Amino acid sequence: MKSKSIFFSGGMGLFLFSLSIFASLAGCSSAGRTYEATKSAFDSNDAGKMVEYYSPNVGYNTEEYNIINESGFQSVSTSPLSTFAADVDTASYANIRRFITDGELPPADAVRIEEMLNYFYYDYPQPKDDEPFSVTTEISSCPWNPDTKLMQIGLQAKNTDTTTKPSNLVFLIDVSASMDEPDKLPLVKNAFLLLCDELKENDTISIVTYAGTDSVVLEGAKGSDKKSIMSAIEDLTAGGSTAGSDGIKTAYKIAEKYFKTEGNNRVVLATDGDLNVGITSEGELIKLIKKEKESNIFLSVLGFGTDNIKDNKMQSLADNGDGNYSYIDSRFEAKKVLSDELGANFFTVAKDVKLQLEFNPKFIKGYRLIGYENRVMDDQDFNDDTKDGGEIGSGHRVTVLYEIADKDSPMNIGGDLKYQSTNETDSDEFLNIAVRYKNPDSEKSMELNYPVKADSIKPEMSENMKFASAIAETGMLLRDSEYKGSSSYESVLSLLDSISDIKSDESKAEFVELVKKMADMPKSDK
């Protein structure tokens, strides 16, 4: 996937990026930016207390994001299958929150709607019997397009007991000069100290750092030796260039050395992604991480910082390294990722998870997958066990939205094929959802199928679907999507206001406040 850099300086406002990149900034018109510490969100330990999100006083920006080519409508007569890899990353939402709390709209390519959706909790049922997932579907009217329906798919992973499973964790920490900011290494240290509170006696912990060169700070420490682990973390300092590829190789080598056959083996990378020594290109990093993951060691990428974060590199490392990607902008977020949702983020229950939907032309003439643009796969790759899918942890939820044009829709999706015909069956199934996955210690996949009946359309959306719809609508507004239809921040707030228990969920309550800020921003599309 292509990536682009966004460069601009403070002072005279010297622009160092092309007009096409400027157009993608979706309302970020300020050339130079001077940040001050801002506050937002609710502290989970004190419902009335605000949480500080770090924003350093920096006047330049060299952030990098992968280009997103938004998915359009597909004709069922020519493309009856929709195939993509599962994704549980949440970095995009936390990064968007950082922009909004700083009074800016994010660049369009920083907005990944699937990561916004998957940041939040949804009330999906636990799987039955020995199945690793439950799949819930709901179809209702689309709030922003009167000619389509909206379908929500909720995949819920089984909650497993992670307390008895030993972990072999290697903390791979970027201590280069670029990490010498309040929202970087100091926050990294706070985050890993929080993680130390979750360690079990039979866990094994190693710490590798990298700057100009890599260094093994701690190797093979027992989880019970928290004093040594915490002391090693607290003593970290920043300085030098960024030889991230060397650090990655060393971290995986140590993880292999202490590999636990029946345990959880994982490298936890904390960085701003600004690699400038050794292997630095995104393509070469992908090759490296694909090679390292063959050892059956998983990866968690934790992104930190502002103004020079290389989101594209961190996302690619996670997507290609059997991993997940989170962005940490506060102790609140660190606690969410490394404590509250530790099981989901660190204990994989299924790997290479892929979804393939087959739409019945008897009922549906077109569809559009909302988000997941960088996870779309060729249809034939669904059954190919050599093709990478997504990793899902204990209790993880994957939320997917499709916009659907049924047979009664006036939308013109595209012409039928000239030399082939679409044969309609007598089935009363609207569509079929196939989920393919591998157990964490296996390379052979299994498939589960979940047919959706045509009578599943509901006159009113559930609380789950109302919130997911509001997220998608907000994402389309931030991206200035050509498919946003009648979307507005006012309609989003109205939908959120109709959710009865939204204030009981701190993250969702915070989202309401962020939408209010978006609605008040200049050049926002209201």
Those residues with Cβ within 8 angstroms of residue 280's Cβ, 6 or more apart along the chain or in another chain? 244, 245
Q: Helix (H, G, I), strand (E, B), or coil: what is residue 4? A: strand
Same domain, 252 and 301: yes
CA distance 150 to 469: 8
pLDDT in the model for residue 426: 78
Instruction: Decide if 428 contacts 454 (C-beta within 8 A).
Output: yes
CA distance 152 to 406: 15
Same domain, 132 and 221: no
Q: How far is CA 441 from CA 264, 342, 351, in A?
A: 11, 20, 9
CA distance 114 to 134: 19
pLDDT in the model for residue 21: 35
Which residues form the domain of 420?
116-159+349-456
First to last CA, the chain: 31
Same domain, 294 and 440: no
Answer yes or no: pTM beyond 0.85: yes
Domains identified in the chain, total number: 2
Same domain, 257 and 136: no
pLDDT along the chain (526 residues), means of 10: 41 36 37 34 36 49 92 96 98 98 96 99 93 95 98 97 94 93 96 96 96 92 97 94 80 97 95 71 84 93 92 92 95 96 95 98 97 98 96 97 97 75 77 97 95 88 98 98 98 97 96 98 62
Q: How far is CA 402 from CA 12, 70, 114, 445, in A?
A: 45, 13, 11, 25
Of the candidates 432, 456, 480, which is a domain's last residue?
A: 456
pLDDT in the model for residue 422: 63
Q: Helix (H, G, I), strand (E, B), or coil: what is residue 139? A: strand
pLDDT in the model for residue 138: 96
Q: Specify the CATH number for the domain of residue 247.
A: 3.40.50.410
pLDDT in the model for residue 60: 56
Q: Specify the CATH number for the domain of residue 356.
A: 2.60.40.1230
Residue 254 in any domain: the answer is yes
- The encoded tokens of residue 149 equal 């329906």
The residues that bridge with 210 in the sheet, in sequence order, are 174, 214
Encode 144-159 in three state secondary structure: CCCCCEEEEEEEEECC
pLDDT in the model for residue 244: 67
Q: What are phi and psi of 303, to 5 degrees?
A: -95, 140
